[in-house]
Amino acid sequence: MLFSMRIHLSKPNGQREGPFTLEQINSDLASRKYNDTDYWAWYEGLDAWVPLHTVPGITVNTEAPAAPPSFDPEPEVEQAEPAQQPAAGAAEGPDASQQVYSGMPAEALEQIFVFTSGEGPAVMKSAATRVMLQTVTGVDVAAMREKVPRDVFGRCDIADKLRKEGAVPGSAWKAMSALKPELVQQARSGAYKICVRTFSIETSDLVAIFLFYNKDKL
């Protein structure tokens, strides 16, 4: 069953390749063509991209992964860890939303990336995620879903690193660039302001959301 999976990989610089068989990927890993921590993967049945090394049947490399690429200059990021996260059903409260709302017009929002330590479907169905998105953007989530693209990355430690390091890790830029290279390149050129929020959901999984606002529309 595992060897019948057809796995797509997201590569650096926006290259998306595949599908590959599990056997092909393990052969490439064995020959050190790339490292299992370098790329993200998707196969039928997943609702989010996941780190390649978490795919069942992947032979994990024992060598230390290469350092993530640096971004110079860094895209403009506005990051805040709310002192009090808004609870489900309390998004309208001014105290709860004071440090959460982006303060930017909804029509400028062009892309959302979601990173979670858990599973993609769980975070997107979470009431806490819905409340956080509504509080940050000031827009009803159902209406937002119709207009703004969202990409979800599951089973990753991006939110944890954000909380501990206080800065966006290179692995997050790498993942976003792999899926939307033009968007991230434009952000590096100063075309976007990026709003980042981290929070936890009902399952205690950590979540980080990245909202890309087009400066021309601010």
pLDDT of residue 104: 93
Number of C-alpha atoms within 13 angstroms, CB side, residue 8? 14
Task: Give me the residue spans of the domains in the chain.
Answer: 2-54, 76-217
* Neighbour-count burial for 102-135, b at 16+ CB within 10 Å, e otherwise: bebebebbbbbbbbbbbbbebbbebebbbbbbbb
pLDDT in tens, the chain (218 residues): 445 688 999 865 556 788 999 999 999 998 888 888 778 898 888 888 888 888 888 887 655 444 444 555 567 788 766 544 544 444 444 444 557 899 999 999 999 999 999 998 889 899 999 999 999 999 988 888 889 999 999 999 999 999 898 889 888 988 898 888 899 989 988 999 999 999 999 999 999 999 999 999 99
Query: How is residue 122 written in tokens?
Result: 């769980």
SS3 6: strand
SS3 153: strand
Q: What are phi and psi of 195, to 5 degrees?
A: -105, 125
- How long, in residues, is the chain? 218
CATH of domain 2-54: 3.30.1490.40
